[in-house]
Amino acid sequence: MKVYFSHGKESGPWGSKIKKLAAIATEQGCEVESIDYSDILDADLRVARLTDILKNETTDYLLVGSSMGGYVSLVVSEKFKPKGVFLLAPALYMQGYQIQEYDTKNQNIEIVHGWSDDVIPVENSVKFAKQADCSLHLISGDHRLNSSIESVEKIFRQFVIEKNI
């Protein structure tokens, strides 16, 4: 199984959060790829980049996205069939993003969002999770979730174990 990470607008492909989650994926026997979007500020152009990368993928994979990368991962998951989608404070229902309605047929979605997020309203994740009937973990923390990284790691480890069976 392969795990594709999509970072947020102002972070990079190998920020501290992705490094920690990539280590968990690797220890669970997954191959890891973190896409570099640092040259693209537009969320929908990032969707095009990930779509181009995945169009020839033949192995099972998970999509993991943080903030804008969460939007990218979710939108791309509607075109492909990942084994699961793991979203961290996803930038859903944000002004200026092309997609505002999401296909909720993929039941392998899990979301983690910090209660104190002042960048992406936590209500956006609640709205999506309710429509998608997917797991939503509301935890202590801000947008970056760095203060709650241990909780994020536990949730992610369980997600990877379940999807990698």
Residue 97 exposed, middle or buried by CB count within 10 Å (0-12, 13-18, 19+): middle
Q: How many CB atoms lie within 10 A of CB 39?
A: 8
Q: What is the distance between the alpha carbons of residues 109 and 88, in angstroms, rounded to a whole number?
A: 11
Both structure tokens of 141: 């923390």
What value does the mean pLDDT take over residues 144-155? Answer: 96
Mean pLDDT, the chain, as a whole number?
A: 96
* pLDDT over 90 at 165, yes or no: no
Domains and CATH numbers, the chain: 2-163 (3.40.50.1820)
Q: Mind listing the pLDDT tens digit for each residue in 55-87?
A: 999 999 999 999 999 999 999 999 998 999 999
Contacts of 57 (CB under 8 A, 6+ apart): 2, 80
Q: What percent of the chain has pLDDT over 70?
A: 99
Determine the pLDDT at residue 107. Answer: 72
Q: What percent of the chain has pLDDT over 90?
A: 95
Determine the pLDDT at residue 164. Answer: 82
Determine the pLDDT at residue 144. Answer: 94
Determine the pLDDT at residue 124. Answer: 98
Contacts of 84 (CB under 8 A, 6+ apart): 62, 63, 108, 109, 110, 159, 162, 163
